[in-house]
C-alpha cells in the first residue's frame, strides 16, 4: 500500500546518514525533504509544510529539543520521530515528554526506522481528514522498542522479548540490575510500547531526593501545608495520570512513605499533603533498584508486602560483562556518534582493542563504556582505534581469574555456598544459633528457618 503523500522532513547533520534515511524513505514511496542544520530545517519547514519530521537531537547549530518545541509550536499537529544515540537517552525521554511521537535509538534497523515513519504518516493522515462531524483522532501510542538495537547477545534478546510481552499489560514491573545497565531505558521501552505511550512518562529517583521531601515529590502538597510550600504541587503520581510512573532506586524509599505507596497501589487514590480529599488516578508503576530487594527486606528497610505488590513482573538487566560481544557493538556505535560530534572520522576498532573491551569487567557497565568511547573520540584524531588510544586504566590487563581447582567455592550453587557459610558460623560458635545469626547479620528466625529447611530435605 502506498504511504500517504504527506511531506516528510528529515533533519540529520551527518551527510552519509541523511543520504541513507532519505533513500530508504524515498524508496518506500514517500515525499522526502532533508536538512542538515536547524537553520536549514526551519527554512524547509516553512517551504514544504511537512506533516512528519524525523529529527536527530544532536545538531551543529541548535539544540534538537529546542527546535522540536518551536516546530510543534508552529504546527501542533506535527508528528515528530526523534533519533537519539545511547549517550543521550535522557534527552530522548525529555523529547517524549515534550510531544515526540516516537523515538529511535541509534543504530536501528531499516525496518524499525521505516515502521516508525509510516506509523507517523498514517497518524498524520488520519488527523488531517477526520470523518464529518467528528474530532480528529487521538494519536496512537508510539510503538517500538527503543532498546532493540543495543547489542544482539542472547541476554539482551531475552530482555527485549520480556519487554515486548509485558508492555501492553497494566501489571507493575520490577527492574533489577547493576548501575549503568539501562534500567531507565527499559522502563522507557515498556512505556513506549504500551497503550499509555501518548501519556506522560514520569521518572523519580527515590535515592536522590531527601526523605523529608520525597512524600511531597511523589504525592504532592497543597500551598501552606508546610514551611516553604508556597504553591500547590501535584506530585509525580498525579502528574503520571494516564501514563507511567517510574520509581528508580525504590529500595531507598523511607519506610513511612512505603506504607503510603502500598496504599496508593491498592486504591489508586492520591492525597497531597494538606489536601482534605483524595482523587483517583490511572498510573502504571515501573520500579527499579540496583540493590538486592530480598536483602533489603531481610534487613527491615523494605516492606515485604510492598515488594510482592510491585514484583508482579520481574525483569533483570544483565551486566555488560555477561553480554558477550555487545561491548564491541556498543563501542562501535558510540565511536561513530562521538566522532561525528567531534568532527572526526573513526573507521573502527582494531582487533587488539576489541579484545581489551571484551576482557574488561566494566563495573560501570554501559555508562562506563560510553565514557571510554567519548574519551577516545575527544583525545584522538580519528582512524582505526588501537589499544594505545584507550584510557590507561583499560590497557592494564585484568588480574588472572582464580583457578577453579584452587577455589573451594568453584562449582557450588549459591544455596550450597550459603549453607557452608552458615555451618561454618555455627561451628565457630559451638552450635549457638543466636551468636551465628549475629555474626552473619541475619535474624535468628531466618537462621532457624534455613536449618529446618535442610532437615526437611
Domain ranges of the chain: 8-140, 173-223+232-316, 320-395, 412-456
Each residue's pLDDT tens digit, 262-278: 988 889 888 877 777 88
- Do 8-140 and 173-223+232-316 have matching folds? yes
Contact (Cβ atoms closer than 8 angstroms) between residue 338 and residue 345: no
Yes or no: say if 3 and 118 are a contact pair by the CB < 8 Å rule. yes
Instruction: Please give the CATH topology (third level) of the domain spanning 320-395.
Output: Helicase, Ruva Protein; domain 3 (1.10.8)
Domain boundaries 8-140, CATH class: alpha beta
- Condensed to tens digits (0 to 9), the pLDDT of residues 197-241 reads 878 888 888 877 776 677 778 888 787 777 666 777 778 888 888
The three three-digit cell numbers of residue 338, written as one number: 562521538
Q: Which of 7-16, 97-106, 158-167, 315-324 is predicted least confidently? A: 97-106
Task: For domain 412-456, give the CATH number.
Answer: 1.10.10
Give, in words, the CATH class of 173-223+232-316.
Answer: alpha beta
pLDDT, position 147:
31
pLDDT at 142: 36
Indicate if the pLDDT at residue 178 is higher than 80: yes
| Mean pLDDT of the 419-431 span | 83
Higher-pLDDT residue of 293, 126: 293
The whole-number pLDDT of residue 428 equals 86
Segment (H or E) for 79: strand 79-84
C-alpha–C-alpha distance, residues 203 and 193, integer Å: 17
Average pLDDT over residues 239-250: 90
pLDDT at residue 72 greater than cutoff 80: yes
Radius of gyration of the chain (CA): 26
Q: What is the mean pLDDT of the chain?
A: 81
Average pLDDT in the 28-50 region? 91
Residue 286: the pLDDT is 95
The x, y and z cell numbers of residue 69, run together, are 518545541
pLDDT more than 70, % of the chain: 84
Q: Which three cell numbers stand for residue 193?
A: 510500547
pLDDT (0 to 100) of residue 304: 92
* pLDDT at residue 284 tops 90: yes
What local confidence, expressed as pLDDT, does residue 141 receive? 35
Q: Is the pLDDT of residue 387 over 90?
A: yes
The C-alpha torsion from 321 through 322 and 325 to 327, rounded to 10°, is -40
| Intra-chain end-to-end CA distance of the chain, in Å | 64
Residue 139 has pLDDT above 50, yes or no: no
The answer on pLDDT for 132 being more than 60 is: no
Q: Which residues contact 415 (CB under 8 A, 6 or more apart)?
A: none
pLDDT surpassing 80 at residue 407: no
Amino acid at each position: 500500500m502506498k504511504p500517504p503523500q504527506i511531506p516528510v522532513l528529515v533533519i540529520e547533520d551527518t551527510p552519509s546518514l541523511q543520504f541513507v534515511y532519505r533513500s530508504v524513505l524515498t524508496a518506500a514511496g514517500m515525499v522526502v525533504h532533508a536538512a542538515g542544520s536547524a537553520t536549514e530545517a526551519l527554512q524547509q519547514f516553512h517551504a514544504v509544510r511537512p506533516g512528519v519530521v524525523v529529527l536527530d537531537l544532536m545538531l551543529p547549530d541548535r539544540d534538537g529539543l529546542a527546535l522540536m518545541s518551536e516546530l510543534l509550536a508552529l504546527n501542533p499537529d506535527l508528528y515528530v520521530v526523534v533519533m537519539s544515540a545511547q549517550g543521550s537517552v535522557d534527552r530522548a525521554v525529555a523529547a517524549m515528554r515534550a510531544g515526540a511521537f516516537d523515538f529511535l535509538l541509534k543504530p536501528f534497523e531499516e525496518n524499525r526506522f521505516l515502521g516508525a515513519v509510516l506509523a507517523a504518516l498514517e497518524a498524520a493522515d488520519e488527523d488531517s481528514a477526520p470523518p464529518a462531524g467528528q474530532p480528529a483522532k487521538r494519536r496512537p501510542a508510539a510503538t517500538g522498542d527503543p532498546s532493540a538495537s543495543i547489542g544482539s547477545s542472547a541476554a539482551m534478546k531475552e530482555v527485549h522479548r520480556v519487554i515486548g510481552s509485558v508492555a501492553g499489560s497494566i501489571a507493575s514491573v520490577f527492574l533489577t540490575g547493576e548501575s549503568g545497565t539501562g534500567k531507565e531505558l527499559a522502563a522507557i521501552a515498556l512505556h513506549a510500547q504500551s497503550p499509555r505511550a501518548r501519556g506522560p512518562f514520569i521518572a523519580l529517583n527515590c535515592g536522590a531526593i531527601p526523605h523529608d521531601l520525597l512524600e511531597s515529590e511523589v504525592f504532592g502538597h497543597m500551598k501552606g501545608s508546610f514551611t516553604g510550600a508556597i504553591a500547590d504541587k501535584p506530585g509525580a503520581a498525579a502528574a503520571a495520570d494516564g501514563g507511567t510512573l517510574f520509581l528508580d532506586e525504590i529500595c531507598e524509599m523511607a519506610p513511612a512513605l512505603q506504607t503510603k505507596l502500598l496504599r496508593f497501589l491498592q486504591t489508586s487514590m492520591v492525597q497531597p499533603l494538606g489536601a482534605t480529599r483524595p482523587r483517583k488516578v490511572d498510573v502504571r508503576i515501573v520500579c527499579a533498584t540496583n540493590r538486592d530487594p530480598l536483602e533489603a527486606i531481610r534487613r527491615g528497610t523494605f516492606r515485604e508486602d510492598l515488594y510482592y505488590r510491585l514484583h508482579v513482573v520481574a525483569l533483570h538487566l544483565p551486566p555488560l560483562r555477561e553480554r558477550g560481544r555487545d561491548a564491541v557493538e556498543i563501542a562501535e556505535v558510540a565511536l561513530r556518534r562521538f566522532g561525528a560530534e567531534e568532527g572526526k572520522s573513526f573507521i573502527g576498532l582494531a582487533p587488539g582493542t576489541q579484545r581489551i573491551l571484551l576482557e574488561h569487567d566494566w563495573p560501570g557497565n554501559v555508562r562506563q563504556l560510553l565514557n571510554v568511547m567519548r574519551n577516545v573520540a575527544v583525545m584522538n584524531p580519528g582512524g582505526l582505534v588501537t589499544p594505545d588510544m584507550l584510557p590507561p586504566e583499560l590497557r592494564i590487563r585484568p588480574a588472572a581469574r582464580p583457578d577453579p581447582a584452587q577455589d573451594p567455592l568453584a562449582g557450588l550453587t549459591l544455596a550450597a555456598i550459603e549453607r557452608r557459610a552458615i555451618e561454618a558460623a555455627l561451628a565457630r560458635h559451638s552450635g549457638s544459633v543466636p551468636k551465628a545469626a549475629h555474626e552473619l547479620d541475619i535474624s535468628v528466625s531466618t537462621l532457624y528457618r534455613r536449618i529446618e529447611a535442610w532437615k526437611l530435605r
